[in-house]
Amino acid sequence: MDAGWQRPGLSVTLGALHAALGRAGPLWVKESSARNLRHRDFLAPRAALGAAFGGEQVPPGVVAAVSALCGPGVLPVSECRHTAAGLEVQLRRGETFRRLLGPTAAPAAPPGPRPAVVLHCAALRCPGPVSPRGLRPVLLADHLAQLLRKQGVSVLLVPAIADKQGREVLRQLRVEWPYSSTAGSDTVSALKQALKQCPYATRCEKGSGEASLPENVICKVHLKSFVEQQGLQGYDPNLGVLLVTEEKLRSLAELQQAVLQGTVSDPLVLPAGSSCTVVHVVSCEEEFQQQQMDLLWRILDPGTHKHLVCGPVKVRAGEVPIHQLQQSPLTAVGFSFQGLWRWQAHRYHTVCSTPTCVLSADEAWTEVIDILTVAAIRFEMLSTAHRSQVGHSISTKGTKSGAFVMYNCARLATLFDTYQRAVEQGEHSSMPLALGDGCFWPSLTGIILSQGEWLLLFSYLLPFPEVLQQAAQLPSPSRGFRITANTEAVCKFLIQLSMDFSSYYNRVHILGEPFPHLFDQMFARLQLLGAVRDMFHSALATLHLPPLSQI
């Protein structure tokens, strides 16, 4: 592999296209509809060109520069032409297939120390099962942690879960969370000592007219005074006095220990000099309490904190909590999964009148149903922007559910299992080992314009690494402390991919007849779908969902 080789990227190519026009501002758009992709891949709209060039025609030299684009990470251009729609670019699609699907070098690790992020979910501090409103930030933090790790970020999760029932809930939901805390009594003592010297704290002593205060209150902290004097923005104007207890200090101590773990010079954790960001992932209902704790921590140990706030979760009154269902005791939400269970039972031709019946003693069946149930929960909670409300019903069928995504992932597994059995039985030839040098690539030229292969590669395989990267970004707020994230992008990507793949799979006979003159076309399609399968697996891994081999 050439040391200067770089995987073709969408953003790199768009940057090169914009530079070739020599005008400020984004003028090019990537096509996404199957209809437009038949004759172009990028378009600079006529109106945008007119504004950029003052109503004059684009100089011929610019068109030539676009046609000659090349370089590491830039997609190969076949043609740039003037049309009524504007300036259209079509790529050399056969070469693009080779560059994206052929042998690739592993991406180099970014230089310098890795950053660290502490993700804090206050909802897990409550004993017992997690409420529906508390489940959403937990699933969001778990998903965000996986996305950040894929980008080389070290992630620490807080708080540790001591409650056995809570641990069992997260285990069944396939959430990976620490069960032991690193906070010690020394840290709590240090925080108490800092409170004694804090100008915003007032001690609560017996006989001082504070008889109505609980006995475990250590002091009162005047948060509003701190906010006003520091000129902090975005905090609730109703913040006043906070009663500090031992439990609150233990929570802060655990957070401080996590930050310390993310910044110390420990070769098993991070190199020296690493930065550490604290992100509080909270529901909108608990945001006020988290602002109180945030300010208390700022008073005792100044630092920068970000709040990722989740919108409300609406649950229909009177629905049976899942922990009351014998077959799937997922206790974390109040959603009723009767529809999901009945739908899956129908697919397996299993007679089941209620969701509490014993559907099957087969462990594989139970595992499939558990994974589909978790997929339904995760996609319902995470496929909507975290700031928006999610409803009370779980999708159990159709094209917008987690089950639909898992089903299409299983279809790919079935396809390759069928092909492998055909090879073993001598019905099909095995694929060449050196796929990057495969002579079957020219066969793509006759099929990529009409059969959907180009749509799968150009709209999904090409931008997938950037989808993961953008979903993991935690941009600094322009003002205040609230941030937004694009975490819903992965679920939406998987849903749209499943819809387009399903349409392609239903229309195209991948394996075809076992005739030698059709092998090259079959190999090309299998290579493409093998990459699509790996993309499914990689995206599902960020949701802690294992791929299913059959449904």
| pLDDT for 114 | 77
Q: What is the DSSP string of 159-188?
A: S----HHHHHHHHHTT-----S----HHHH
Kindly state the tokens that stand for 225: 């005074």
From CA 153, how far away is CA 101, in angstroms rounded?
27
> Is it true that domain 116-310 has CATH number 3.40.50.620?
yes
| pLDDT for 187 | 84
Output the furthest CA–CA distance in the chain (Å, rounded): 96
Amino acid identity, residue 544?
H
Given this chain, do its domains 116-310 and 397-551 carry the same CATH topology? no
| All residues at 6 or more sequence positions from 386 whose CB lies less than 8 Å from its CB, including other chains | 136, 140, 308, 309, 310, 311, 484, 485, 487, 488
φ/ψ of residue 474, rounded to 5: -125, 80
* 86-91/42-45 β-pairing: antiparallel
Q: What is the DSSP string of 195-220?
A: HHT-TTEEE--TTSS-TTS-TTEEEE
| pLDDT for 414 | 94
User: Given CA atoms 95, 98, 103, 109 in this order, what sign does their dihedral have?
Assistant: positive
Residue 159 preceded by cis peptide, ω within 30: yes
Q: Are 289 and 245 in contact (CB under 8 A)?
A: no
From CA 300, how far away is CA 189, in angstroms rounded?
12
Residues in the chain, overall count: 551
Torsion of CA 63, 67, 72, 74, to 10 degrees: 80
φ/ψ of residue 523, rounded to 5: -60, -40
φ/ψ of residue 407, rounded to 5: -65, -45
- Distance of alpha carbon 9 from the chain centroid: 19
From CA 420, how far away is CA 25, in angstroms rounded?
50
| pLDDT for 106 | 55
| pLDDT for 131 | 73
The closest of 546, 542, 173 to 373, measured between CA atoms, is: 173
The closest of 223, 289, 549 to 418, measured between CA atoms, is: 549
Q: What angle do CA 277, 281, 285 make, to 5 degrees?
A: 145
From CA 279, how far away is CA 199, in angstroms rounded?
27
| pLDDT for 360 | 46
Helix (H, G, I), strand (E, B) or coil at 533: helix
Q: Are 192 and 203 in contact (CB under 8 A)?
A: no
Q: Are 448 and 97 in contact (CB under 8 A)?
A: yes
| All residues at 6 or more sequence positions from 188 whose CB lies less than 8 Å from its CB, including other chains | 246, 249, 250, 253
Kindly state the tokens that stand for 337: 């999964």
From CA 331, how far away is CA 168, in angstroms rounded?
9
From CA 369, how far away is CA 377, in angstroms rounded?
12
Q: Are 249 and 192 in contact (CB under 8 A)?
A: yes
pTM of the model: 0.87
| pLDDT for 58 | 83
Kindly state the tokens that stand for 486: 């694009």
- In this structure, the number of other CB atoms found within 10 A of the CB of residue 6 comes to 15
42, β-bridge pairs = 30, 89
Helix (H, G, I), strand (E, B) or coil at 89: strand
| pLDDT for 489 | 96
| pLDDT for 265 | 39
| pLDDT for 120 | 94
Q: Regarding the domain delimited by 397-551, which CATH topology (the fold level of the hierarchy) does it fall under?
A: Isoleucyl-tRNA Synthetase; Domain 1 (1.10.730)
The closest of 335, 380, 390 to 130, measured between CA atoms, is: 335
| pLDDT for 5 | 60
Q: Can you tell me which residue has the tokens 């800092």? A: 194
- Which uninterrupted H or E stretch holds 288? helix 287-300
Q: Are 355 and 386 in contact (CB under 8 A)?
A: no
Count the helices and strands in the chain (H runs, E runs). 17, 12
| pLDDT for 540 | 97
Torsion of CA 350, 540, 431, 3, to 10 degrees: 180
From CA 462, how far away is CA 258, in angstroms rounded?
37
The closest of 220, 217, 221, 222 to 246, measured between CA atoms, is: 217
Taking the chain (551 residues) in runs of 10, the rounded mean pLDDT of each run is 70 92 85 89 92 82 90 92 92 88 63 81 80 86 96 92 80 87 77 90 67 76 92 90 90 88 54 70 92 92 86 64 38 44 50 42 72 87 91 58 91 93 85 54 51 89 95 85 93 96 91 75 88 96 92 71
- The ranges assigned to domains in the chain are 10-91, 116-310, 397-551
Q: Can you tell me which residue has the tokens 């399903």? A: 502
From CA 261, how far away is CA 336, in angstroms rounded?
40
From CA 482, how far away is CA 314, in angstroms rounded?
23
- In this structure, the number of other CB atoms found within 10 A of the CB of residue 507 comes to 9
